[in-house]
Structure 1
């Protein structure tokens, strides 16, 4: 009974989040910042917003980081204080409120990299994705579940019970190996001892962390506004 209630609650939560995304996508169309000829159409924006392909899972991201995928560019859209406490390896901090600033464009408007946006969960990273997608930035993805999901699956994976399928144990083994790669030390005898997590070194400013050479994309010329004499 408890599990059914939990499933219903989570289902309702995701439906609410989906509704919020649609409302936000519709509202972005009316923002005065964008001229009539800029960005993608509202129909395309909504189609992109509901596509599951815009998400990347924590397992997929961990695999790409461990294998040193050169096409990754991680963008932490949380505030600076949260970023300094903990962030993903080599992530650049661009808070949500600064997403549309000119200094952020060279990171977000990319043809060279897959830009992965993340926050504590999906809420702020989804907003950042919508803002960037509205003005037709390419290769944008959201880390599904954000930092919270990262901790629960990669940093501190839950050991499956004996009655679970064999693939659950295989996945746990992969996640445990990944957690060790990211600095987690497992005690050999005392299994109830808390997992020790090494703090990631973080630079004082966001611009100091540059994981790779960023190639700024040339800005598109703005179309002249309609009307006038």
Structure 2
């Protein structure tokens, strides 16, 4: 959590968010009003936040990581635009620490060169689109960060993503797997494309697949920027 995000939480009258994320900050909420809903009810949460703001409250809408990276910032702005309230409702997007950079810090320096971030969740994006992006990123030799890689009901996408990566990348390409990055019960694994599916991967996991220059050194993953040593 960034310092500005903490300040925003402490100054808010109303806190709105997915119930799992609210649980993560329950020690910071104290006696503030909380509005929380479950998975797939993002529009309902954002509508409630807008209504609270229109009533004069200072509202903090909570996202995991950074609100502008697969978070609620875009939906809030879109809904305010649809209601013609963007000009009358003051909005501040407070940057956070997304799991790509949090996980990268735990692994070493895998994102020192160009990288792509791709979510494997097909709830809002058709799999055909996701697959095209995976192919493009792998073919261009980007380091690839995979969000939402697998769940109990959805585990074939990470297998397909690995298959695509193996078509364009060597089986020895370093892979970093971080679960609960910078949270309690954090788990860190460093492996390669050939062995990545031997490790636990779920919705709380971020997977970073290296490029052809990425290497493993003394427990770290490094993607060289190209400096002459």
**TM-score, length-normalised on structure 1?**
0.29
Q: Which has the larger share of strand?
A: 2
Task: Determine which structure has greater relative contact order: mean sequence separation of CA pairs < 8 Å that are 6+ residues apart, divided by chain length.
Answer: 1
More helix by share: 1
Q: Which structure has the larger Rg?
A: 1
